[in-house]
Amino acid sequence: MARAIIVVIDSFGIGYSPDAVDFGDVGANTLANLSRAYFEETGKRIDLPNLSALGLIKACQQASNQEFPYQGQEPSKGAYGFAQEISTGKDTPSGHWEMAGVPVLFDWGYFTNKDNSFPKSLTDSINQATGFEGMLGNCHASGTEILNRLGEEHIKIGLPICYTSADSVFQIAAHEEHFGLDNLYKYCETVRELLGDLNIGRVIARPFVGDNADNFTRTGNRRDYSVLPPAPTVLDKISTAGTHVISVGKIADIFAHQGIDEKTKATGLDALFDATLNHINTAQDNSLIFTNLVNFDQDFGHRRDAVGYARELEALDLRIPELLGALSDDDVLFLTADHGCDPTWPGTEHTREYVPIIAYHNKIDSVNLGNRTTFADLGQSIAELFNVEAMDYGTSFLPELFKK
């Protein structure tokens, strides 16, 4: 029976979407713009031959109607297209839930004030419930900047660093040794409970290590505390029907551990990729392996490191043959993304973009899937593949993958 592998290249947008004007993102294009920046800084064209063969470059050109510096080839195998998000936000839960067949059609709650971001009533409740006399931060910030600014003070006085962003998040950074990982998780769980009706999508534990601002580094022990999706996702449906659903990376956290049967954590592109390969080599028939490659987003997109992003893409491309070679004849691989995060774009936030839809099995020729009007087309395809009740949103492209 079929197995499916979904690999989310976190933040890998391929051109601003029609509603990008509502988000201030007209002109954003994560792949094209980082390719130009890489060429301008290094004099080299980004080299993605394996992803190009699967149709990635062609999908980006179709989504954005533009050429850009790249090194690759025309599509020769696999199905390729580009998908538009219909969820109201450009955040991680919205993107993942929509690709699992449940778009977010309500408005998230946000902390919009750049300073003193959290209401006093909330911070008072948090302090009382946790026993701390206060918190550091209480502002909009990027994860690396706030560690450089407040990490040493945090170690000295012991207060957690709390901050937010343009996303619907409450983030807490704390030193793994001085504050303690278990204490950080407990603090986050308390905050999650106290957010109540504010409709904040995630509380994120951001542990770090290091001695001073010069060497503070976030660790792989991040944990996301998400609210539940507003309806059962395709993961819930296939898991209930007997499919073994495996999470690699932060997938389980994003789905509030619903519809997940097995979880594997890993840190870094190679470790996440290796964990995915290990599951492909060992998972039973009738399994879904769902991986998020978070480093593209957190290490390069948000940090506006176009060259680093390009090199990480080249590193991923080099490993694509391993992934394809591990597939059995009944396996179907899907590569996609959850939103954009153009490293050349002003600020440090996500960008509203189309995402790639790439699908592959061992007997497929090159197929152009074109413009998919919602990420939920992937969830609908998964529902059809595993023969469960159709989702309320999306159109399956599975028939396109198995044309005779």
Q: Which residues are annotated as a binding site for Mn(2+)?
A: 10, 297, 302, 338-339, 350
CA nearest to 14, candidates 48, 41, 43, 40: 48
HSE-CB of 120 using CA atoms within 13 angstroms: 0
Pinpoint the alpha helices (H) of 2-55.
30-42, 49-53
Number of H helices, E strands in the chain: 14, 16
> Is residue 336 helix, strand or coil?
strand
| Residue set of the binding site | 10, 297, 302, 338-339, 350
Q: At what angle do helices 306-326 and 30-42 cross, to 10 degrees?
A: 120
For residues 266 and 313, is the Cβ–Cβ distance under 8 A? no
8-state DSSP, 5: E
Please report where in the chains the tokens 């931060």 appear, as a residue: 137
Buried b (16+ CB within 10 A) or exposed e, 286-304: bbbbbbbbbbbbbbbbbbb
Full 3-state SS string of 142-169: CHHHHHHHHHHHHHHHCCCEEEECCCCE
